[in-house]
Amino acid sequence: MPWVNENMCVGCGVCVDDCPVEAITLDDSKAVINEEECIRCGRCHDVCPQEAVRHDSERIPQEVEVNIEKTKSLLKHFETPEEQQAFLERMVRYFKKQQKVTSLTMDKIMTMKADLSAAEK
Ligand code: SF4
Ligand code: SF4
């Protein structure tokens, strides 16, 4: 999922005009991508003259930090060390489940990719 680095965007509108599904708008002279509308074609990344449309992987550290901050804020609701340990264990289980969902989804997409390659031959 592409995203716009606001500090690099100059609001030229090139990406807005080029998006095939009109998923980008300008808000206060900064491009904003509607994640629900975006079809992940990558054109905005290719056409931006400022390289302001960035790859998703660059946001990994930021997303990890959001998860950690959320965990810390929820931890405050538990007083005893036992309750806190149990809570942290539940958070680990939650992220393990997310990891499994991601892994199984990737397996299925790779199967779709292989099927597509086989059909092309
Ligand atoms: S093309 Fe790049 S600089 Fe121009 S509006 Fe889009 S993101 Fe901003
Ligand atoms: S990736 Fe494609 S569909 Fe998504 S915002 Fe960029 S140009 Fe539009």
Q: Residue 1's pLDDT is what?
A: 85
End-to-end CA distance of the chain: 30
pLDDT at 98: 97
84 & 37 share domain: no
> Rounded to whole angstroms, how far apart are CA atoms 8 and 52?
5
- Has residue 121 got a pLDDT over 90? no
- Residue 64 confidence class, pLDDT cut points 50, 70, 90: very high
**Which tens digit of pLDDT belongs to each residue from 1-22?**
899 999 999 999 999 999 999 9
Do 49 and 90 lie in a common domain? no
- Mark whether 29 and 65 lie in a shared domain: no
**Which of 3, 8, 29, 48 to mutate to test ligand 1, by most ligand atoms within 8 A of the CB atom?**
48
Based on the fold, state whether residues 21 and 74 are members of the same structural domain: no
Alpha-carbon distance of 76 to 118, in angstroms, equals: 53
Question: Considering only CA atoms, which of 92, 85, 11, 104 is closest in space to residue 52?
Answer: 11
Q: Tell me the residue range of the domain where 49 lies.
A: 3-54
pTM (two decimals): 0.80
- Pick the range with the lowest mean pLDDT from 9-18, 54-63, 97-106: 54-63
Residue type, 45: H
- Looking at the 3D structure of the chain, how many domains does it have? 2
- Whether residue 45 sits in one domain with residue 83: no
